[in-house]
């Protein structure tokens, strides 16, 4: 499958069909056009027959040698076909070409599907300490009393 840079046309389609990618609109507030306008070099899409079926929106840190995956979405009927891994591999290869040392992503402690994907498919580690459910979280990472799962992986080796 071919990975392309995401345009506003695909972005609009993704936002319109957000439930098909995420099962709900819970992440809609995380999608913003600046991800295409200002970070378009790290916004990718996979299409089939002209339809966006998977996407990754990321960017490079301004404070450390890090590439951050902000959003990764795959339409429900295309999940478990390796598209998320393909998008990550593409993003990692581009980050490596820029001399970036590691990648990072976050999710909620209740998102078992995302945690499993990042650990087993991408090989990322969870930072932080176990919460009451035994899931490693970084306390206050997303603000006061907003503890989240923070994934990290070195890519410069």
Look at residue 13 in the predicted model and tell me its pLDDT.
98
User: Reduced to 3 states, what is the DSSP secondary structure of residue 147?
Assistant: coil
Look at residue 52 in the predicted model and tell me its pLDDT.
98
- Ordered by start, the domain boundaries in the chain are 1-100, 106-157
Pick the CATH number of 1-100 from 3.40.1260.10, 3.40.630.30, 1.20.1250.20, 3.30.870.10: 3.40.630.30
Q: Is the pLDDT of residue 96 over 80?
A: yes
Q: Find where tokens 């027959």 sit.
A: 49
Percentage of the chain modeled with pLDDT above 90 = 98
Query: DSSP readout, 103-137?
Result: EEEEE-TT-HHHHHIIIIIS--EE-SEE-TTS-EE
Look at residue 116 in the predicted model and tell me its pLDDT.
96
Q: Element (H or E) spanning 47, and its range?
A: strand 43-48
* Residue 68 contacts residue 100 (beta carbons within 8 Å): no
In this predicted model, what pLDDT tens digit does every residue of 38-59 receive, in sequence order?
999 999 999 999 999 999 999 9
Look at residue 1 in the predicted model and tell me its pLDDT.
80
Q: Is the pLDDT of residue 157 over 80?
A: no
User: Is residue 120 left, alpha or beta, with left meaning phi > 0 and alpha meaning psi from -120 to 50?
Assistant: alpha
In this predicted model, what pLDDT tens digit does every residue of 75-93 receive, in sequence order?
999 999 999 999 999 999 9
């Amino acid at each position: 499958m071919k990975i392309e840079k995401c345009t506003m046309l695909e972005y609009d389609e993704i936002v319109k069909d957000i439930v098909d990618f995420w099962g709900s609109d819970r992440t809609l507030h995380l999608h913003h056009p600046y991800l295409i306008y200002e970070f378009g070099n790290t916004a990718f899409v996979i299409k089939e027959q002209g339809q966006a079926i998977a996407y990754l929106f990321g960017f490079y840190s301004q404070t450390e040698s890090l590439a951050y995956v902000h959003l990764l979405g795959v339409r429900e009927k295309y999940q478990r076909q390796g598209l998320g891994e393909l998008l990550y591999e593409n993003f990692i290869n581009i980050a490596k070409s820029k001399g970036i040392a590691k990648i990072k992503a976050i999710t909620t402690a209740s998102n078992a599907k995302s945690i499993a994907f990042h650990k087993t498919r991408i090989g990322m580690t969870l930072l932080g300490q176990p919460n009451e459910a035994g899931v490693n979280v970084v306390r206050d990472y997303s603000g006061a009393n907003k503890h989240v799962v923070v994934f990290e992986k070195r890519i410069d080796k």
